[in-house]
A and B are shown apart, each in its own frame.
Chain A
Amino acid sequence: MALDRKIAYINLTTGDIEIKPIPMEVRKKFLGGRGLDAYLLYNHTKKGCDPLGPDNALIISGGILCATLASATARTHVMAKSPLTGLLGSCNMGGFFAPEMAWAGFHHLVIKGKAKKPCYIYINNGKIEIRDAAGIWGKTVTDAQWAIHDELNDKEVKSLVIGPAGENLVAFANVMTGVKNAGGRTGMGAVMGSKNLKAVACRGTMDVKITHPVEALEYNKKFIEQITGAKVSQTQGTLGTPFIWGATNSWGGVRTENFRYNQLEYADDIEPERIDEIATETMGPYHMAGCFGCQVHCRAQYKIPTGKYKGKYDEGPEYTSQGAFGAEVGCRSAETVLAGNHLVDQFGMDNLETGSIISWAMECFEEGLITKDQTDGIDLRFGNDEAVLEMIERICYRKGWLGDVLAKGGIPASKDIGKNSFDYLIQVKGMNNLHSDERATPALALNIATSSRGSDHLRSRPAIDLYHLPEKVLRKIYSTPVPYDGPLSSEHTEYVGKPWQVFWQENCYMAVDSLGICKYHTTFLGATLPNFENWPKVLYLNTGIEMTPKEIWEVARRNNMMERLFNLREGANRNDPEKGDVLNHRYHDEPCKRGAIDVIGRYIVKEKFDKMVDEFYEHKGLDKNGIPKKSTLKELGLENEPSHLL
């Protein structure tokens, strides 16, 4: 059964491997996946440890429901101290890796130390082996995976790998699996690279016993129907995440030319329908792919139609790549979006951070903060498609002065570039923002400012806030499983009630990340998708664990608090511009110039924003400085951390 999956501690310096069961007490307290990873990270690293040193713990996991019949239980989670932010590093991806690791007998791996030479870990039905990676090091993301197939003579092996970016310790290098499943943000690939660890390869044929198989099968059918019955899932299954692009760009929610504008004008060429038309003609008629067990199938498949990379196969591009290699850098060509997406997938580099840091460098270049000498003659202006693709490669291989500087990440790069370049950097806690512009949406602004891994949409974003749902619908969603009778507003430009929504979403996303379910199967893009009310039954039928919606909510709160404890230990501080819950000054000082009539002129009012943060802290049980109250820690059972239960 799912609960007999184990945890392995692997030391790459000594080669020692220790395997332990995961006690029920720990399961009930943290569930698994990201939540239990947060506990393990806090317990297995010391304050101030070097993110790229041997003492950092790289933790790889699947959720408690991984590989079970709970629909889309494919998610792999990776956690470590981040080399990009110096705070919590965390990423989550789909594909087929975590289920294979579960069939091989494991839910969590804690990897410490540093191998003397490039190696990879091979896990096969309960056995763990550290192997030489001499023949695999240096290879791109997909080539590395196929080389492992050849070496092990087994095409069913699923690997989590790093590309050249991880080997070169690019601060925002990804871990990857499959063609494009990306564990992005916060540079977990660089942590792998620093340990000389090229890959973790898994192969398993061990049963994950379902506690109540007949009922689980029937309930899964209903669960899937609830998910695929939503219009948003159907649209996503046809166009992928780029379906969000058109609407968001037209109302003015897309960060353009770094932060100059909030909309890319004349951008028809990168609309998903257009990409579909030009890039999928050689694919089958449906050209969508799904992760393990998922019926939403949101991964588009494409072949690059023209240019230098003509004929290359890849998946995506996600909505984020339209922003990263489109709006942010001021480019309007589908070919650039597709090629940029392909390069970062092959290099194993975060598309959001890459696009964002290039766009920041472009603004610095246009403002005279970076000279043409420093770019080796590249005309790094917005809209220069060739320069964007060139810079992606330069960052990955740390070529030239600027390529090397940008590979360190935003804040260190701003110190190297100097002058007032930091003022232009759209980051929170050292991680650059995705390509969304939150100046007109206070709820989303609060979300990125307080997210545990820096400026990010996948930790607490109340995306349904943009749908203007009637208040009674919002109340129905946001007052379960715990009552809420405070204000709620259907208006996305409002400030009232938003802190509760962000707090609720933070717990919702932590719950799915700990269960191991995809966010597209909960209240993220669709208001009717499953959440707390539906999970107890899925959990019970598949694992036998009985929990109420309220109990799952409490686990999520606890896990989120664990992440905050880690960040506080590593120096996070409410008002610190580099490590705090604050926004770049431009959110408050530069109003939106484009978009819908109620968006133009909007900016985040500082006083109202601060009040939202205060209120958000109150919901979480923190004091005004963002530090948990003693009573909160006691209530969550976290008063004695690190408690070394595992």
Chain B
Amino acid sequence: MQSNSKVLMINHEKCTGCRLCEQVCAVKHHGSSNPSRSRIRVLKWEMEGLYVPVSCQQCQDAPCLNGCPVGAISRNEELNRVEVDYDVCIGCRTCVSVCPFGAMHYNAIDRKVAKCDLCDGDPQCARFCDVKAIEYVDGGDVSIEKKRAAALRLSTVKKQATALEQHTA
């Protein structure tokens, strides 16, 4: 099968802080509403109106994978994700301590580490996020929208500069 290049793209500027992503993640994986089980979390700075969803980046050179002493973490090319084999995992939480994003989660109820598995190709967080702060897109498209926005800014500035030149001439 051809390898999947889709990735979870998070644009925190769009996030409204509602935490529905946390809820659907927990229900999908555990059948319970309980954010402490969610693999995605929204961090908030409420007095600045800043809400930032944080989830696994599915790193290419993943510290969790590299750091796992028993080789329980591997890369699944088909789903373009880093995954945990719970039959091998010894629950030492090394992966939790080395993840630079805090995205490797430790579920204190089941005493297991947990991370985003992209819901096997249909991530519920992206599916339910109406404002599209979380999207599931082709890896190659991640930066095109940023390029478009930058291009628009440049052209606007250029137009303003031209107008100013004409005005002062």
Contacts and interface: CB of A to CB of B under 8 A. Distances in A.
B96 to A, nearest CB: 17
B37 interface: yes
Interface in A235-284: 283-284
Contacts of A286: 13-14, 16, 131
A233 to B, nearest CB: 10
B23 A207 contact: no
A206 interface: yes
Contacts of B50: 284
Chain A contact residues, majority secondary structure: loop
Interface in B1-41: 13-14, 16-20, 23-24, 27-28, 30-37
Nearest to B47: A313
A224 B35 contact: no
A406 interface: no
Nearest to B31: A213
A219 to B, nearest CB: 12
A209 B31 contact: yes
Contacts of B46: 142, 178-179
A295 B47 contact: no
A103 B35 contact: yes
Interface string A199-224: 00000011111100100110011001
Interface stretch (B55-63, B66-74, B122-130): B122-130
Nearest to A287: B49
Scoring A224, A284, A285, A287 by chain B CB atoms within 10 A of each residue's CB, the highest score goes to A284
Given A179-B47, A221-B128, A295-B20, A207 B30 contact: yes
A69 B21 CA distance: 11
B19 to A, nearest CB: 6
A608 B124 CA distance: 54
Contacts of A284: 13-14, 49-50
A289 B12 CA distance: 12
Contacts of B128: 220-221, 224, 295
Interface in A451-507: none
A301 interface: yes
Contacts of A205: 34, 36, 108-109
Contact of A210 (B31, B35, B47, B108): B31
A293 B18 contact: yes
A297 B16 contact: yes
Nearest to B51: A289
B85 interface: no
A313 B130 contact: no
Contacts of B20: 292-295
Contacts of A294: 18, 20
Scoring B32, B50, B109 by chain A CB atoms within 10 A of each residue's CB, the highest score goes to B32
A98 interface: no
Nearest to A283: B49
Contacts of B87: none
Contacts of B165: none
Contact of A207 (B18, B19, B28, B32): B32
B48 interface: yes
Contacts of A315: 49
A292 B34 contact: no
Nearest to B14: A286
A174 to B, nearest CB: 18
A290 interface: yes
B33 A67 contact: yes
B16 A290 contact: yes
A560 interface: no
A42 B20 CA distance: 35
Contact of A291 (B18, B49, B130): B18
Given A205-B34, A210-B32, 6 more contacts: A67-B33, A207-B30, A208-B32, A283-B49, A286-B13, A289-B51
17 contacts: A67-B33, A103-B34, A142-B46, A142-B47, A178-B46, A179-B47, A205-B108, A209-B31, A210-B31, A221-B128, A228-B130, A287-B49, A293-B23, A295-B18, A297-B131, A313-B49, A315-B49
